Amino acid sequence: MLINQLMNMPTGSPQIKKVMLVGLPNTGKSQVYNNLTGDYSVVANSPLTTLETKRARCRLAEQSYEVIDSPGLHSLYNPSEEELTVRDLILSEEIDILVQCMDACRLKQSLTLTAHLLTLGIPMVISLNSMDEIARKGISIDPVALSRLLGVQVVASVAVQGQGTEELKEAISRVEAGGPEIIPCGEKIEGWLAELGSKLPVEAPYKRAISLLVLLDDPLILDYVNKMYGPAAVNDLQQQVKLIKGNLRFNIGQVINQQRSRWLDRVAEEVTHRTKPQSHGFAQEFARLSRHPVFGIPILLVFLYSMFYVVVNVANVISEWMSDVLWMPVEAKISGLIPLGFWHDFLIGDYGILSMGLANALMTVLPILSVFFLVFNIIEDIGYLPNLSVLTKRLLGKLGLSGSAIIPLVLGFGCKTVATLSTKTLKSKKEKYIAVYLIAFAIPCAAQMGLNMSILGRIGLSAFVIVFSVLFVVEILVGMALNKILTKQGQGLVFIQELTAIRLPNLKGVLKKTYYRIYWFLKESLPVFLGAALALFVIDKLGVLTATKRLLNPLIEGFLGLPSAMTDAIILCLVRHEAAAGVMINLVKKGQLDYIQCIVAVTVTTMVVPCFANIMAMAKEVGGKQTLVMIILIVMSSFAIGGALRWTLVALL
Amino acid sequence: MRNRKREKEEHLERLWGMKEGEQEAVEYLEDSMKGDFDAQLVEELAEDGMVALSEGNRKIVLTESGEKEARRIIRAHRIAERLLHDVLGGEFETGACEFEHTVTSELVDSICILLGHPRTCPHGMAIPEGECCRRSERTTRNMVIPLTEAELNQSARIAYINCRDDMLLHRLDDLQVRPGIKVKLHQRYPCFVIECEGASIALDEDIVATICVWSQGPPVDRPKLELSPKEKKPRPWWSKGLMAGRKRHGKI
């Protein structure tokens, strides 16, 4: 009996169906993923947000599903590096259901991908997102007609608000096995596809898609065929292609493209209706101004200044208040209870686990980061950052960076680790090296930016302007130097970058993202803050810290002109920049850092060493040896620049 | 009796195609010409010094002068295809086949200038360069201009994309930058930004320069190919637009 039951159990885990989310970059895949699974994948109004696939389980109507979130995909043909991972995943994972996320505002572009996906023959559902935005533009899209024309279920939704989630879940659970209809390519080409398909093993899946890619001379599909079915199949296919193409009087790729274009023009025309005349919305006008060579710069400065203003006038005030009301009384109480000595120092001394660890993290850094992240997430949600790439294009060209390196650099202002990982899209080795170096060096990540603003805001706006001008100039000079030194290896990519549409921020999404950023900060950093305080306490008690300070004294005090207490902050930079910032804020409060010292201190700590996660990402992208070389160079040059800055300021002021 | 000159030209044209496909077998020529193959004519071509036969008359290649002649015919054919396809839309093969045998090189060059020196035919095959392309001749106002020279914020319909890089063409196609689609040039500095089908795209100047658009509004909305192919739309442009062009330029 038992054996019978076992025999009847199909192999693998068939109870769990695999649902993969695919779509063009920035079409709300991660948002839909979050809506479906209740898990959280970072959502931003920017391409290259999701770099790795993410998976989670969910249960709909008595059926378990594994939902896979994937990076953006334009087409199955000739994928870029990050698109290739998606294609490989689709071809190798036995996906049961594809959910294509479409941006209603980019219907035709999305339909191109649909045409590619339909060749796979995997059951599909379409989640048609941004229905609110398209309505605002005065265009209506008829999901029912679209569904009829494509032969797949189409769910209209506004993913950021969670609208359409229930309908999508229902649609997924309704999907039956068996592929959607195909778009015929014409008798002749269909014949060739069948001929090519017959060269693959009978049981091979996705024959049509693979044959089409082979026919189009996709540079990597034969590798896949080789891996799956061996060199004999590759040989057969190549022979067959030669036979077909020998007699050809046209470029197959272009003819197939033309057919697809006609198909999607027809589909788009049938499903879209203009409800009111096209008008230039405020958002579009704003996007245009933000890219304008003249108006773009003031807009950038306004964004920077408003962040600064909010950090200084809101975050710092909250932080002061928390420190005064929540921490001071506690400290006083402990001070009264425990006499001076070991335990006093352990809890609330210079390196006390409560003072330097807990209070630093929760009372000083946390409120500043919360407020800053809120502002930063709003700006990110507006979609402003990718538009910056237009303004910086020419400047970056001078640094030996082609246009495709722009988005990774801009992403660096969010998280340097993510930015470093996204340099994998760069094909030229030289470009990648320069981009990784520049990201690691003088670009402050969002957390650093917020805390730097908080520190410098206590001294004055001019300090902030000086520090950021210096960082900017340093970055440019380093880029130019690297461009000169490094020899060109590999071809730079042509630059074609879709810009994100500007939209009003979605408050719920922004709050949720801020919540997660703070949650991750606490989860990752709180133990680090406590551990670092403990470590410093131990080496202080052992006398090692004093010895180190004495050793570094000529550098810190002599060359940089900083108080020796700044050594703690620089050591903490090795562990976590936020912890160092907390220490510096306390030094400023106690009046131990003056105007020049503060500028030098912030400049040096911003550059000195990237955080641990960033270093790991660097090692992944350029290798361990190169990472080590970069870090040594970065550390040395940041001290050199700090010193030079100090002497310049002393001479000038 | 059929026109001998014309038949020779058909053979030369086919041989050019074989050269592009790296084929040299006479048998192949016979196959691909189907019923029109004429062994005696091939011999005449060899006598004229247009083709060279080898390996016991089994291999055939164009000689230098044959290549020159074939090049002229192919150029006329493909330019004609371009003209008929871009301007009139729809079926263009038959017209082009007639055209190639009747026009002079000068007329072909004039059309080439008018169209902004296209580099590929609608099938994506290369159009051999003419004298005019080498001199990059310009009339005072081309009908088709590179998008880099288009007016800012004016909708312009893409005529064709002067690019032989298949990968790049596919990428542009994925973004819906393709013939027949309306685009707008937003800005040139600090980086080119175009708007296409609701999306803004930033790209290199080199790529924008390959996108050729109708300079003064498209001639006509192309007939929809999925309507019944027989249903011909009136083509007011052909008489209006081209005549207007003729007046302005003095000649086409």
pLDDT, one tens digit per residue, over A547-556 is 988 898 898 8
Identify all chain B residues contacting A389, using CB atoms and an 8 Å cutoff: 191, 202
Identify all chain A residues contacting B170, using CB atoms and an 8 Å cutoff: 75, 77-78, 216, 253, 257
Nearest CB among B120, B193, B199 relative to A390 is that of B193
Q: Determine, for residues B191 and A389 on separate chains, whether the beta-carbon distance falls below 8 Å.
A: yes
Identify all chain B residues contacting A293, using CB atoms and an 8 Å cutoff: 187, 189-190
Size of interface A-B (CB pairs under 8 A): 131
Classify each residue of A202-221 as buried b or exposed e, where b means 16 or more C-beta atoms within 10 Å of its C-beta.
Answer: eeebbbbbbbbbbbbbbeeb
Confidence at B194, pLDDT banded by 50, 70, 90:
very high
Asked if omega into A47 is within 30° of 0 (cis), the reply is no
Identify all chain B residues contacting A80, using CB atoms and an 8 Å cutoff: none
Select from A48, A40, A44 the least CA-distant residue to A421: A48
Q: What is the mean pLDDT of residues A36-45?
A: 78
Does domain A187-274 fall under CATH 1.20.1250.20? My reply is no
Q: How far is CA B109 from CA A44, B98, B119, B244, B251, in A?
A: 52, 17, 13, 19, 12
Identify all chain A residues contacting B210, using CB atoms and an 8 Å cutoff: none
Q: pLDDT, tens digit, for every residue of A164-205? A: 888 898 888 888 776 677 777 777 888 888 888 888 888 888
Is the pLDDT confidence value at B20 over 90?
Answer: no
Is the pLDDT confidence value at A429 over 70?
Answer: yes
- Per-residue pLDDT at A465: 93
SS3 content of chain A, % helix, strand, coil (to 5): 65, 10, 25
For residues A360 and A526, what is the distance between their CA atoms, to the nearest angstrom?
A: 10
What percent of chain A clears pLDDT 70, i.e. is strictly above it?
94
- Radius of gyration, alpha carbons of chain B: 20
Q: Tell me the two tokens of residue A575.
A: 């562990």
For residues A563 and A556, what is the distance between their CA atoms, to the nearest angstrom?
A: 7
Query: How near does any CA of chain A get to the CA of B145, in Å?
Result: 21
Residues B95 and B117 in one domain: yes
Contacts of B179 (CB under 8 A, 6+ apart): B86, B158, B159, B160, B161
**Minimum Cα–Cα distance from A73: chain B residue:** B174
Q: pLDDT, tens digit, for every residue of A78-111? A: 787 778 888 988 888 888 899 999 988 889 889 9
Confidence at B88, pLDDT banded by 50, 70, 90:
low
For residues A88 and A224, what is the distance between their CA atoms, to the nearest angstrom?
A: 8
A150 versus A402: the higher-pLDDT residue is: A150
Nearest CB among B125, B166, B197 relative to A250 is that of B125
Query: How near does any CA of chain A get to the CA of B24, in Å?
Result: 11
State the Cα angle at A592 between A590 and A595, rounded to 5°.
115
Q: Which long-range contacts (CB under 8 A, 24 or more apart) does B153-156 make?
A: B153/B184, B153/B185, B153/B186, B154/B184, B154/B185, B155/B182, B155/B183, B155/B184, B156/B182, B156/B183, B156/B184, B156/B185, B156/B213, B156/B214, B156/B215, B156/B217
Q: Determine, for residues A292 and B193 on separate chains, whether the beta-carbon distance falls below 8 Å.
A: no
Q: B93 — contact with chain A (CB < 8 Å)? A: no
Query: How near does any CA of chain B get to the CA of A409, in Å?
Result: 16
Q: Determine, for residues A77 and B180 on separate chains, whether the beta-carbon distance falls below 8 Å.
A: no
H or E element that contains A286: helix A282-291
Residues B110 and B78 in one domain: yes
Is the pLDDT confidence value at A301 over 80?
Answer: yes
Question: Do the Cβ atoms of A426 and A404 come closer than 8 Å?
Answer: yes
**Minimum Cα–Cα distance from B180: chain A residue:** A261
Question: Do the Cβ atoms of A169 and A163 come closer than 8 Å?
Answer: no
Select from A443, A411, A562, A431 the least CA-distant residue to A493: A431
Q: Indicate whether B84 belongs to any domain.
A: yes
Q: What is the mean pLDDT of residues A31-47?
A: 80
Q: B174 — contact with chain A (CB < 8 Å)? A: yes
Residues B174 and B123 in one domain: no
For residues B141 and B152, what is the distance between their CA atoms, to the nearest angstrom?
A: 17
Q: Indicate whether B195 belongs to any domain.
A: yes
Amino acid present at A406: I
Q: Determine, for residues B203 and A495 on separate chains, whether the beta-carbon distance falls below 8 Å.
A: yes
Confidence at A71, pLDDT banded by 50, 70, 90:
confident
Q: Determine, for residues B172 and A74 on separate chains, whether the beta-carbon distance falls below 8 Å.
A: no
Q: B1 — contact with chain A (CB < 8 Å)? A: no
Q: Indicate whether B235 belongs to any domain.
A: no
Q: Classify residue A161 by its DSSP letter.
A: G
Select from A447, A597, A603, A457 the least CA-distant residue to A522: A447
Query: How near does any CA of chain B get to the CA of A79, in Å?
Result: 9
Nearest CB among B32, B168, B224 relative to A247 is that of B32
Q: Determine, for residues A257 and B169 on separate chains, whether the beta-carbon distance falls below 8 Å.
A: yes
Q: Indicate whether B249 belongs to any domain.
A: no
Query: How near does any CA of chain A get to the CA of B192, in Å?
Result: 8
Q: Determine, for residues A287 and B200 on separate chains, whether the beta-carbon distance falls below 8 Å.
A: yes
Q: Determine, for residues B123 and A249 on separate chains, whether the beta-carbon distance falls below 8 Å.
A: yes
- Longest CA pairwise span in chain A (Å): 95
Q: B108: domain range?
A: 67-134
Residue the block writes with tokens 């410093």 = A536
Q: Determine, for residues A496 and B172 on separate chains, whether the beta-carbon distance falls below 8 Å.
A: yes
- Per-residue pLDDT at B225: 38
Q: Best residue in B33, B158, B193, B207 to probe A by mutation, most A CBs within 10 Å?
A: B193
Is the pLDDT confidence value at B230 over 80?
Answer: no
Q: List A153's β-bridge partners, or say none.
A: A125
Pairing status of strand A97-103 against strand A124-129: parallel
Residues B92 and B149 in one domain: no
Nearest CB among A249, A261, A497 relative to B201 is that of A497
Residues of chain A with CATH 1.10.287.1770: 187-274
Q: B199 — contact with chain A (CB < 8 Å)? A: yes
Residue the block writes with tokens 């000079």 = A477
Q: Which of A337-351, B97-111, B130-144 has the lowest mean pLDDT?
A: B130-144
A14-174: CATH homologous superfamily?
A: P-loop containing nucleotide triphosphate hydrolases (3.40.50.300)
Nearest CB among B167, B176, B203 relative to A497 is that of B203
CA A15 to the chain's CA centroid: 33
**Domain CATH number, residue B177:** 2.30.30.90
Residues B45 and B76 in one domain: no
Which conformational region is residue A253 in: left (phi greater than 0), alpha (psi within -120 to 50 degrees), or beta?
Answer: alpha
Q: So what's the ipTM on this one?
A: 0.78
**Domain CATH number, residue B104:** 1.10.10.10
Q: Indicate whether B229 belongs to any domain.
A: no
With H, G, I as helix, E, B as strand and everything else as coil, classify residue A72.
Answer: coil
Q: Indicate whether B82 belongs to any domain.
A: yes
**How many structural domains compose chain B?**
3
State the Cα angle at A199 between A194 and A203, rounded to 5°.
90
Q: Indicate whether B242 belongs to any domain.
A: no
Select from A456, A443, A373 the least CA-distant residue to A406: A443
Q: Tell me whether residue A7 is exposed, middle or buried, using C-beta atoms within 10 angstroms of its C-beta: 0 to 12, 13 to 18, 19 or more.
A: exposed
Nearest CB among B169, B189, B225 relative to A262 is that of B225
Is the pLDDT confidence value at B247 over 70?
Answer: no
Query: How near does any CA of chain B get to the CA of A395, in Å?
Result: 9
Q: How far is CA A108 from CA A65, A116, A119, B198, in A?
A: 30, 13, 17, 9
Confidence at B251, pLDDT banded by 50, 70, 90:
very low
Which conformational region is residue B179 in: left (phi greater than 0), alpha (psi within -120 to 50 degrees), or beta?
Answer: beta
Q: List A498's β-bridge partners, or say none.
A: B201
B177 phi, psi to nearest 5 deg: -90, 95
Q: What is the mean pLDDT of residues A224-242?
A: 88
Alpha helices for A441-460 (secondary structure H): 446-457
Q: Indicate whether B206 belongs to any domain.
A: yes
Q: How far is CA A587 from CA A197, A601, B89, in A?
A: 71, 11, 75
Select from A161, A460, A452, A506 the least CA-distant residue to A307: A452
For residues A512 and A44, what is the distance between their CA atoms, to the nearest angstrom?
A: 12
Q: pLDDT, tens digit, for every residue of A493-543? A: 678 888 888 888 888 888 988 998 888 888 888 888 899 889 989 998 898
Average model confidence (pLDDT) across chain A: 85
Q: Determine, for residues A496 and B203 on separate chains, whether the beta-carbon distance falls below 8 Å.
A: yes
Identify all chain B residues contacting A248, using CB atoms and an 8 Å cutoff: 21
Question: Do the Cβ atoms of B73 and B9 come closer than 8 Å?
Answer: yes
Q: B178 — contact with chain A (CB < 8 Å)? A: yes
Task: Point out the domain boundary residue: B79, B106, B134.
Answer: B134
Is the pLDDT confidence value at A483 over 80?
Answer: yes
Residues of chain A with CATH 3.40.50.300: 14-174
Q: Tell me the two tokens of residue A96.
A: 């049961």
Highest mean pLDDT among A73-82, A223-232, A240-249, B113-122 belongs to A223-232
Q: Determine, for residues A494 and B207 on separate chains, whether the beta-carbon distance falls below 8 Å.
A: yes
A183 phi, psi to nearest 5 deg: -95, 115
Q: B188 — contact with chain A (CB < 8 Å)? A: no
Q: Determine, for residues A250 and B123 on separate chains, whether the beta-carbon distance falls below 8 Å.
A: yes
Residues B51 and B78 in one domain: no
Residues B130 and B168 in one domain: no
Q: Determine, for residues A217 and B189 on separate chains, whether the beta-carbon distance falls below 8 Å.
A: no
Residues B27 and B72 in one domain: no
- Per-residue pLDDT at B219: 45
For residues A80 and A497, what is the distance between their CA atoms, to the nearest angstrom?
A: 13
Residues B19 and B42 in one domain: yes
Identify all chain B residues contacting A501, using CB atoms and an 8 Å cutoff: 199-200
Is the pLDDT confidence value at B198 over 60?
Answer: yes
For residues A286 and A216, what is the distance between their CA atoms, to the nearest angstrom?
A: 41
Is the pLDDT confidence value at B235 over 60?
Answer: no
Q: What is the mean pLDDT of residues A606-631?
A: 89
Q: What is the mean pLDDT of residues B135-151?
A: 74
Residues B195 and B158 in one domain: yes
- Per-residue pLDDT at A491: 59
Q: What is the mean pLDDT of residues A575-600?
A: 89
- Per-residue pLDDT at A184: 73
State the Cα angle at A262 between A217 and B186, rounded to 5°.
90
Q: pLDDT, tens digit, for every residue of B47-56? A: 888 888 888 8
Nearest CB among B175, B191, B204 relative to A498 is that of B175
Query: How near does any CA of chain A get to the CA of B160, in Å?
Result: 12
Residues B77 and B27 in one domain: no
- Per-residue pLDDT at B91: 64
**Minimum Cα–Cα distance from A77: chain B residue:** B170
H or E element that contains A417: helix A416-422
Q: B232 — contact with chain A (CB < 8 Å)? A: no
- Per-residue pLDDT at A425: 76
- Per-residue pLDDT at A278: 60
- Per-residue pLDDT at A625: 92
Confidence at A287, pLDDT banded by 50, 70, 90:
confident
For residues A466 and A598, what is the distance between their CA atoms, to the nearest angstrom?
A: 11
